[in-house]
Amino acid sequence: QVQLVESGGGSVQAGGSLRLSCAASGRTSSMYPMGWFRQGPGKEREFVAAISWSGSNTLYADSVKGRFTISRDNNKNMVYLQMNSLKPEDTAVYYCARQNGIASVHVTASAADYAYWGQGTQVTVSS
């Protein structure tokens, strides 16, 4: 059974930083690409970042490129999202997700390619 649990959300002023964490259960979770998505108030869920199982390949949405960094620690079955220079438009519920395709170096921005999702963690950025 696969479980994804996000943590690290909170409230911060514009220009601040937060680090989100995602704990993945399951014996082979470290062998799957992982991603972060977000859903702002009144908006559809959108892709934020993804990382291949080895960490060698990453992908970012244009809106967060240069400000957010995705990383992982396979020994701990953890995935992280370091968010710097936060803006009010980054306010959203952030979701961790596990992409299909064990040991894949390919990462995708399509939510349809992710089979397992966490419950989400709220990030609020005030101006």
Low-confidence ranges of the chain (pLDDT < 70): none
Q: Give the per-residue pLDDT at 1.
A: 83
Q: Give the per-residue pLDDT at 26.
A: 80
Q: 90 to each of 14, 45, 97, 115, 126, how far by Cα in Å?
A: 9, 12, 18, 24, 10
Q: Are 99 and 112 in contact (CB under 8 A)?
A: no
Find the length of the chain: 127
Angle (nearest 5°) at CA 58 between 34 and 20: 55
CA 18 – CA 34 distance, rounded (Å): 19
Give the full edge-to-edge strand order of the sheet including 78-83: 4-7, 18-24, 78-83, 68-73
Q: Give the per-residue pLDDT at 115.
A: 93
Q: Give the per-residue pLDDT at 79.
A: 97
